[in-house]
Each structure stands twice: as structure tokens, then as C-alpha cells.
Amino acid sequence: MRIAFDAMGGDHAPTAVIDGVLQAAKSWPDTEIVLVGKDEVVTPVLERAAMDHLSIRTATEVINAEDEPVRAIRRKKDSSMVVGCEMVKEGAADAFISAGNTGVLMAAGLFSTGRIPGIDRPALAPSFPTVTGGKVLVLDVGANPEARPEHLQQYALMGSVYVESGWGIARPRVGLLNIGTEENKGTSLQKEAFGLIKELPINFVGNVEARDVLEGVCDVLVCDGFSGNILLKNTEGVANAVFVKLKEEFTRNPLNKLAAAILKPSLKRFASSMDYKEYGGAPLLGLGGAIIKAHGSSDARAIYNAVRQARLFIERGVIRRISEDLERS
């Protein structure tokens, strides 16, 4: 299989991206990796690490965080994002991964690979770690802020297929993010979506409150892009607040510092269990091709994990399976 990687996108690009990609290339010699980006960025990588399964594809333009999506893909046709998505469309790559601007990646993916027939709006689908040591796929977290009930129904189906095929969980538990567990809770969006999801041949466990998400009460959490984005960013914000507060307490006096030093390996393990970087990227589920968004602040480890995820995505034929399920339902 062949995975294209955007060398230009992300807060720590290109250094962290290149480091992560090289680690991945070393781990999986069976995976061809194509690094896409500006000549002066990608060419030196080949000199640094010559491997048969590592190649480059130059793209003269770069998309910025501030670029307006549709405008950007029209004007910067030779940017790494547009080129990477085009490679997937043309079959020159089986997947494309980028840590760049999410809106632009979605627009470029839509423009190049289109949507799976039957899907109106693709969803950004990251996974969250749960306290039980598992994870939960959350979709959508912002690709489509103004969702309609039928979009949520499509997310439920796609999420179920993805978790079943990609994570190997049989009949994954699918929940709907809501402000109460009773069937009639929420706005008209959730009420209508509840009825539509109930009709699907999936394991729908009903409404799930935000408080219970990390308890692992479901494997797939369906939500509109606005609420999902609030959930995602609030989770990051609270986790960050916790670290700030803990650090304050643990450095308060010499005795605390000593105790904290003893706990250091445990605290590290704790931090890593709360860390998005361990959980790879977020697929843009519903696109016609395998296009995966890595977190904007990805470090080398996060990049490495995104490659691992793309491999599974391709191997398990997630897109084909979603198409088949849509045809059946």
C-alpha cells in the first residue's frame, strides 16, 4: 500500500512531520510513503534517510491556517494538500494524511475524491481515550457545524462500520450525544435523529450524556459538528487545566517536589493516557477516499500513529464496507 503525507501542515511542520514519517517508514517497510511538500523541504529528507519505500512528490504552494477553504483549493492547485488529495483520487496513493487546516483538507478531499454515495456530509471522526482503557469514536467534531437529522443518521452508520472493521469490535455500541438519557431529550435535531438512528440495523444504545462519554458507555458517539467540537475542545481544555493545577501543587514546596519525583513515571503514564497523540488522526469519514486529519499540534509520535491508523483504514477496506452497508440499508 502507498500512503501520501503532507509535509507542510501542522504547528510543528515540517520537522515533527518528517521525524514521525521516518519512524513510520522504519517500522513498516511494506508501506510505501510519499512525502508531499516544497522541494527544499522534502528533497533533503531523501538525502537524510535513503529507503526504497520512501519517496517524495514536490508541491510548490503551501496552505496556511488562515486560508479560506474553497478559495485556497481553487487558487493553490499545486499545494501539498490539493496534490495529496489528487493522488488519492488518481490511485497514486491509497491514503493521504495531513496535520494542516481541517476545512481546507475537507474541501480538497471533497473536490478530489467526492463523497461515498448516500453520504451527504462527511464527518471528522477522532477517537477519545476512556477511563476503562478503551476509546470512543466521536463524529462529527466540526466538519459540518449545522447538521440535519439525516446527517446524524449517516454518522451513526459510518461510525459503526468503521469501529467494527477498523477496531475489530463486533456490534459496536452507538450512542447519541444528548443532554439527558430519555428519548425525548434535546433539541428537534436530536429528537428527530433518535428516531432515524433507531431504524438502522446497528447496536444503538440511545442517548449518552457528555458526563458519561469518557466512562466508555459507547464505542461510537454521534453528534452534530458544533456540539462535537465543543466536546473535543472542552476535553482538551479541562485536561490542560488539570495539568496546570497539578503542577502548581506538586512544585509548591521541596517535599512535594520530592514526592512528585517519585511519582514521575506514573504521572507520565497518566498524561499519556489523556493524550490525543496516542490515538492517531481523525478520518474524514464519508469522503470517497481515505483522507486522514492528524491533530494540528501533532508531534512525531502523533504523526507515526496517524500512519498506523491509515494502514488499518486501507487494510480493512473501511470505505468499501461503508458503501456496501449503505447499499444494503
Q: Which amino acid is at 263?
A: L
Determine the Cα–Cα distance for residues 213 and 126; give it in Å rounded to an integer.
14
Closer of 83 and 147 to its own copies (Cβ): 147
In whole angstroms, how far apart are CA 253 and each of 258, 259, 261, 264?
A: 9, 10, 12, 16
Dihedral over Cα of 145, 147, 152, 157: its sign: negative
Element at 127 (helix H, strand E): strand 127-129
Exactly one of 46, 49, 51, 263 binds its own copies (CB under 8 A); that residue is: 263
Give residues 22-41 in contact with its own copies (rule: CB under 8 A): none
Among the listed residues 122, 159, 225, 281, the single contact to its own copies using CB under 8 A: 225
- Single residue of 130, 154, 165, 298 touching its own copies by CB under 8 A: 130
If the CB atoms of residues 19 and 278 are measured against its own copies, the closer one turns out to be 278
Which residue of 235, 298, 305, 309 would you call a contact of its own copies, by CB under 8 A? 235
Distance between CA atoms of residues 318 and 312, nearest Å: 9
Closest contact distance (angstroms) between CB of 215 and its own copies is 7
213 binds its own copies (CB under 8 A): yes
The yes or no reply on residue 14 touching its own copies (CB under 8 A) is: no
Q: Which 270-299 positions form the footprint of its own copies (CB under 8 A)?
A: 270, 273-274
CB closer to its own copies out of 51 and 263: 263
Question: Which SS3 state, helix, strand or coil, does residue 90 take?
Answer: helix
Read off the amino acid at residue 17: V
One of 1, 210, 312, 326 touching its own copies (CB under 8 A): 210
Nearer residue to its own copies within complex by CB, 200 or 260: 260
19 belongs to the binding site for its own copies (CB under 8 A):
no
User: With binding defined as CB under 8 A, does residue 64 bind its own copies?
Assistant: no
Stretch of 4-12, 73-81, 163-171, 265-273 lying at the interface with its own copies (CB under 8 A): 265-273
Half-sphere exposure for 260 (CA within 13 Å, toward CB): 13
- Dist CA 99 CA 21 (whole Å): 12
> Could you please report the per-residue DSSP string of 150-198?
HHHHHHHHHHHHHHHHHH--SS-EEEEEESSSSTT-S-HHHHHHHHHHH
Looking at 170, 255, 327, 328, which residue binds its own copies (CB under 8 A)? 255
Calpha distance 161→274 (Å, rounded): 25
Q: Which of 177, 202, 218, 222 binds its own copies (CB under 8 A)?
A: 177
Q: Is 65 in the site for its own copies (CB under 8 A)?
A: no
Q: What CA–CA distances, in Å, run from 192 to 68, 147, 148, 199?
A: 32, 12, 9, 11
DSSP summary character for residue 214: G
What's the closest the beta carbon of residue 151 comes to its own copies, in angstroms? 13
| Least spacing, CB of residue 72 vs its own copies, in Å | 15
Q: With contact defined as beta carbons under 8 Å apart, do 249 and 256 qualify?
A: yes
Largest CA distance in the chain: 65
Contact pick of 29, 171, 239, 329 for its own copies (by CB under 8 A): 239
- Map grid coordinates 481515505 to a residue: 290
> Would you count residue 214 as binding its own copies (CB under 8 A)?
yes
Among 150, 249, 315, 324, binds its own copies (CB under 8 A): 249
Interface stretch with its own copies, choices 37-45, 114-122, 269-277, 320-328 (CB under 8 A):
269-277
Q: What are the residues binding its own copies (CB under 8 A)?
A: 130-131, 142, 145-146, 177, 179, 186-188, 190, 209-215, 225-227, 229-242, 244-246, 249-250, 252, 255-256, 258-260, 262-263, 266-267, 269-270, 273-274
